[in-house]
């Protein structure tokens, strides 16, 4: 009888993407990843998240690696495990909306190079910004997972989440992820939210959170008991702090319960042993800031994600205005409300944070307005859950008329144009997509790649620091 009750929780391992992105600025190299792939492949993970997010940009910009090459090498190594990526809806992996033809081509090439699961999110939860990517993933027979950017606020009721989940299921998503980027989901709220979602949709539900505020492991326990299907964890050397709860700890937590993963702790400990020296090296070099490993309770008090907190600190430091830190933290929720109460995740977190800094430093709110703040108020990022503050909108954009359509509807197809701009450097089809996302960085990388081919002297490349040969 007890056999029937078994419901092993599935685990997505984030060590090759979100964990090192959250703790060491996405600096893990492909060379550091490959030797451990064989062991990771034996664990029995639901998937390994290894691509997308900031890995694409960081590979090119800091490591001088081709992200497509990384994906192909990982695909070769993982024989039994699904590979997952994070995809910013119409923004793909860049910071502006792209035309539909670029989004479709990117999804096609991601799947062709080895991605099985595409986690797609939008910083405003505007489903219109997700539809193209979801349909493209369906067409490529990739698994389309739509992520809800989880946040708190008047607008974000249980009804809001269940309604949006139903619409996501109807748009063709294969699963839903609750993406709690700031670690705001409290344990009892997780019980409530997961229970409501499981009653609303039939597709699987994944929970992704960060340990920043200190509650994440307890939240996972409650969510799993409430029926969540999948949780995202990180191997212990890169777990906790701004990353995810530790894989080994969650495996041990569910041992001998109906949710037992059945994972082998001996194998996990061998994997942890492999990553520990990489973590220690990052600590010694200053790449891993010990501050990122503690609990930051300000996250819960001000609903500000960890990455955004460090941005605010550095902006204020540059202006010699560190004493204004708490004034800025108090201004953030006010700006967020003025801008329609969006979730705070890339890029909305940067937009709200920077505007809050200006409002405080100028001594007058919206005396100086960033281009991005204007663009949000002009509807160029999509629709917010709540209306904008009309006085703020008037002060920032005057009589300009905001758009109400899907922002990408105003964009013409751009693949051909992009192709013609970079044709002389093209060595593979994927290069046009690399150029589309980061034109300047891509050009530098293409030139570096060419130079490497003509040079035989391997010793000249400073591989350790990932710098150009001098």
Contact 18, 239 (CB under 8 A): no
**DSSP three-state, residue 12:** strand
Question: What tokens does 447 get?
Answer: 């030139």
Q: Is the pLDDT of residue 239 over 90?
A: yes
315 has pLDDT over 50: yes
SS3 state at 135: helix
Given this model, what pLDDT does residue 458 score? 52
> Higher-confidence residue: 98 or 299?
98
Q: Tell me, what's the pLDDT at 459?
A: 53
Alpha helix (H) ranges present in 398-437?
A: 415-422, 431-437
456: left (phi over 0), alpha (psi -120 to 50) or beta: alpha
Residue 133 has pLDDT above 50, yes or no: yes
The whole-number pLDDT of residue 455 equals 66
C-alpha torsion sign, points 358, 359, 361, 367: positive
Return mean pLDDT, the chain: 94
The model's confidence at residue 298, banded by pLDDT at 50, 70 and 90, is confident
Please give the Cα distance from 41 to 20 (Å, whole number): 19
In the numeric block, the tokens 């923004």 are attached to: 91
Contact criterion met (CB below 8 Å) for 134 and 120:
yes
- d(CA 335, CA 347) in angstroms, rounded, equals 15
For residue 29, pLDDT beyond 60: yes
For the chain, what percent of residues have pLDDT higher than 70? 96
CB-based contact 403:379 (threshold 8 Å): yes
Q: Under 8 Å CB-to-CB from 203, ≥6 apart: which residues?
A: 169, 173, 174, 175, 176
Q: Which helix (H) or strand (E) holds 309?
A: helix 306-318
- pLDDT for res 457: 53
pLDDT digits (tens, 9 = 90+) for 425-444: 999 999 999 999 999 999 99
pLDDT at 155 over 60: yes
CA–CA separation, 219 vs 217, rounded Å?
5
Residue 469 has pLDDT above 80, yes or no: no
Summarize the confidence of residues 97-122 as an average pLDDT: 98
Residue 82, both tokens? 């699904």
182/345 Cα distance (integer angstroms): 8
Residues 306-321, mean pLDDT to the nearest whole number: 85
Average pLDDT, stretch 213-232? 98
Three-class HEC string of 180-214 = ECCCCCCHHHHHHHHHHHHHHCCCCEEEEECHHHC
What would the pLDDT profile of 71-85 be if each residue is shown by its tens digit?
999 999 999 999 999
To the nearest whole percent, how much of the chain has pLDDT over 90? 87
Per-residue model confidence as pLDDT tens digits over 37-74: 999 999 999 999 999 999 999 999 999 999 999 999 99
With vertex at residue 113, the alpha carbon angle to CA 110 and CA 115, rounded to the nearest 5 degrees, is: 55
Rounded Cα–Cα distance for residues 465 and 457 (Å): 17
């Amino acid at each position: 009888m007890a056999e029937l009750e078994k419901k092993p929780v599935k685990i997505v391992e984030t060590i090759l993407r979100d964990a090192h992105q959250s703790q060491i600025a996405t600096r893990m190299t492909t060379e550091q990843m490959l030797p451990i792939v064989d062991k990771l492949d034996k664990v029995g993970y639901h998937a390994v998240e290894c691509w997308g997010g900031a890995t694409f940009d960081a590979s090119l910009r800091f490591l001088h690696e081709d992200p497509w090459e990384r994906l192909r090498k990982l695909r070769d190594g993982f024989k039994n495990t699904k590979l997952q990526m994070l995809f910013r809806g119409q923004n793909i992996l860049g910071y502006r909306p792209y035309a539909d033809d670029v989004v479709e081509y990117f999804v096609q090439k991601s799947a062709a190079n080895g991605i099985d699961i595409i986690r797609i999110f939008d910083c405003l939860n505007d489903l219109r910004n997700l539809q193209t990517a979801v349909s493209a993933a369906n067409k490529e027979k990739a698994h389309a997972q739509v992520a809800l950017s989880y946040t708190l606020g008047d607008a974000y009721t249980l009804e809001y989440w269940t309604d949006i989940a139903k619409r996501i299921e109807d748009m063709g998503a294969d699963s839903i992820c609750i993406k709690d980027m700031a670690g705001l989901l409290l344990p009892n709220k997780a019980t409530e939210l997961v229970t409501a979602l499981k009653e609303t949709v039939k597709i699987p539900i994944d929970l992704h959170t960060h340990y920043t505020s200190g509650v994440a492991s307890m939240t996972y326990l409650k969510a799993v008991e409430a029926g969540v299907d999948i949780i995202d964890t990180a191997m212990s050397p890169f777990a906790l702090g701004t990353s995810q709860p530790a894989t080994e700890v969650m495996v041990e937590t569910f041992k001998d319960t109906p949710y037992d993963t059945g994972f082998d702790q001996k194998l996990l400990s061998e994997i942890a042993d492999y990553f520990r020296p990489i973590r220690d090296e990052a600590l010694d070099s200053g790449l891993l800031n010990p501050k990122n490993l503690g609990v930051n309770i300000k996250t819960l008090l001000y609903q500000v994600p960890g990455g955004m907190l460090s941005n605010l600190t550095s902006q204020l430091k540059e202006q010699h205005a560190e004493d204004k830190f708490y004034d800025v933290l108090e201004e953030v929720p006010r700006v967020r409300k003025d801008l329609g109460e969006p979730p705070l995740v890339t890029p909305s977190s940067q937009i709200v944070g920077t505007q809050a800094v200006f409002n405080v430093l100028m001594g007058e709110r919206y005396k100086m307005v960033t281009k991005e703040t204007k663009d949000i108020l002009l509807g160029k990022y999509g629709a917010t859950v709540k209306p904008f503050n009309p006085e703020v909108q008037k002060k920032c954009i005057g009589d300009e008329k905001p758009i109400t359509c899907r922002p990408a509807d105003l964009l013409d197809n751009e693949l051909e144009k992009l192709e013609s701009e970079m044709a002389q450097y093209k060595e593979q089809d994927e290069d046009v997509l690399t150029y589309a996302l980061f034109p300047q960085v891509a050009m530098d990388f293409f030139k570096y790649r060419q130079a490497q081919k003509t040079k035989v002297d391997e010793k000249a490349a400073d591989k350790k620091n990932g710098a150009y040969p001098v």
